[in-house]
Amino acid sequence: MLDSTSIDSLLKNNLPALGIDLGGTKIRAALVKDGRVVSQPRQIATPNGADNIIKGIVDLVQAFQKDGNEAQFGIAGVGIATAGIVDCNTGEILGSTGNLPGWSGTSLKKVIESQILLPVHVDNDANAAAYGEASARGLMHSNCVVAVTLGTGIGGGLVINGKMFRGAHWAGGEIGHLRLNLGNKRLCTCGLFDCWEAYGSGRGLAATGRDILSGLSAEQTPLAKDIEGLTTHAIVEAARNGDIVGKRILNMWHEHVAAGIASLAHILDPDLFVVTGGLADCVDFVLLQEMVVDRVLPRIGEKMTIHKSELEGLAGIIGAAQLVLDNLLDRIAV
């Protein structure tokens, strides 16, 4: 273990931290300083099984350590963003996720720290992305920043008064499962009905598409040619090519995204929302802002703004690295 004097000297030298974003298909890593990526990222395909994932992470860390030795700089610590519910004190994965089978129960912080002799912080990936957005935008003194990750599912993270808000049992920010509808109309992959994710995610967009297309023929819209195999990509392409049914589906998806953001705005009244994830590119931000303002109390609508992430998929890496740096600073403060 590092004692506080050596941590102090590491940070005084303004060393970078390594951020690692562990996804279902790839693991990406880069060095981060002052909320910005300061090295070329490295990435590997996500291996099968917990042991192989851990080996992959250690290999990545050692590659960056080798760079550091050659260029004569040190690394202050390693932050890891992973899917699932994480106990950030122990760095243990509490809740499993479909994308990483066998991952639940892994004592990730302990295992990695024993192999690389650097302080490690582990956090949920949507939390890390939110922290990365707040860091990169210089919003660590804001009251509340909400990050919404629109991808296959919907994730989220809340940064409140400059601190990551994780809830009382590490499960805060599961905004994808706020309930958008009554009457058990759509089953979510989590097993609950009518979650926001079942409407506003990529899967939700495709489901809305299938609802709207049912009964339509290929003469009416090219999307009706393969309703069962409908993809978000096909919907977005059709809408861009002027197909009126594609436009209608995309518009209804915007309404669903707006309804969830409106709920969050009433509960949290944040300084701003940042939208990230693979589907952020499909959002018409002017339309979304209008829709949300229409669906919130005037006092909230006057002030709220929704921004697109500008970090190009690096938010999780930046946030994970900043979290390990800020944890080290907190330790010195104590």
Q: Which residues bind its own copies (CB under 8 A)?
A: 85, 94-95, 142-144, 156, 158, 160-161, 163, 165-182, 190, 192, 199, 255-256, 259-260, 262-264, 266-271, 295-297, 299-300, 302-303
User: Minimum distance between the CB of residue 88 and its own copies, rounded to whole angstroms?
Assistant: 12
Kindly state the smallest distance separating residue 38's Cβ from its own copies, in Å: 30
Shortest reach from residue 98's CB to its own copies, in Å: 13
44, 50, 105 from 109: Cα distances, Å: 20, 13, 12
User: Exposure pattern of 127-140 as b/e (b: 16+ CB <10 Å)?
Assistant: bbbbbbbbbbbebb
Q: Which of 161, 160, 156, 121 is nearest to 32 (CA)?
A: 121
* Least distance from its own copies to the Cβ atom of residue 4, Å: 24
- Say which residues have a Cβ less than 8 Å from residue 320's Cβ, sequence separation at least 6: 19, 20, 21, 79, 80, 81, 121, 123, 128, 131, 132
Q: Are 6 and 118 in contact (CB under 8 A)?
A: no
**Which CB sits closer to its own copies, 219 or 302?**
302
State which residue, 185 or 240, has the beta carbon closest to its own copies. Answer: 185
Identify which of residues 65 and 104 has a Cβ nearer to its own copies in the complex.
Answer: 104
Report, in Å, the least distance between residue 180 CB and its own copies. 6
- Which lies closer to its own copies via its Cβ, residue 15 or residue 262? 262
Quick one: 99 or 142, whose CB is closer to its own copies?
A: 142
In our burial notation (b when 16+ CB lie closer than 10 A, e otherwise), range 67-97 reads ebeeeeeebbbbbbbbbbbbbbeebbbbbbb
Q: State the minimum distance, in angstroms, from the CB of residue 103 to its own copies.
A: 14
Query: Largest alpha-carbon pair distance within the chain?
Result: 72
Q: Which is nearer to its own copies, 1 or 182 (CB)?
A: 182
Residue 100 identity: L
Angle subtended by helix axes 244-268 and 202-213, to nearest 10? 130
Tell me whether strands 36-37 and 85-87 are parallel, antiparallel or unpaired.
Answer: unpaired
Question: Measured from the CB of residue 138, what is the shortest distance to its own copies in angstroms?
Answer: 15
Token reading at 228:
């069962």
Residue number with CB closer to its own copies (181 or 231): 181
Distance CA 212, CA 4 (A): 60
Taking a C-beta distance cutoff of 8 angstroms, is the pair 156, 148 a contact? Answer: yes
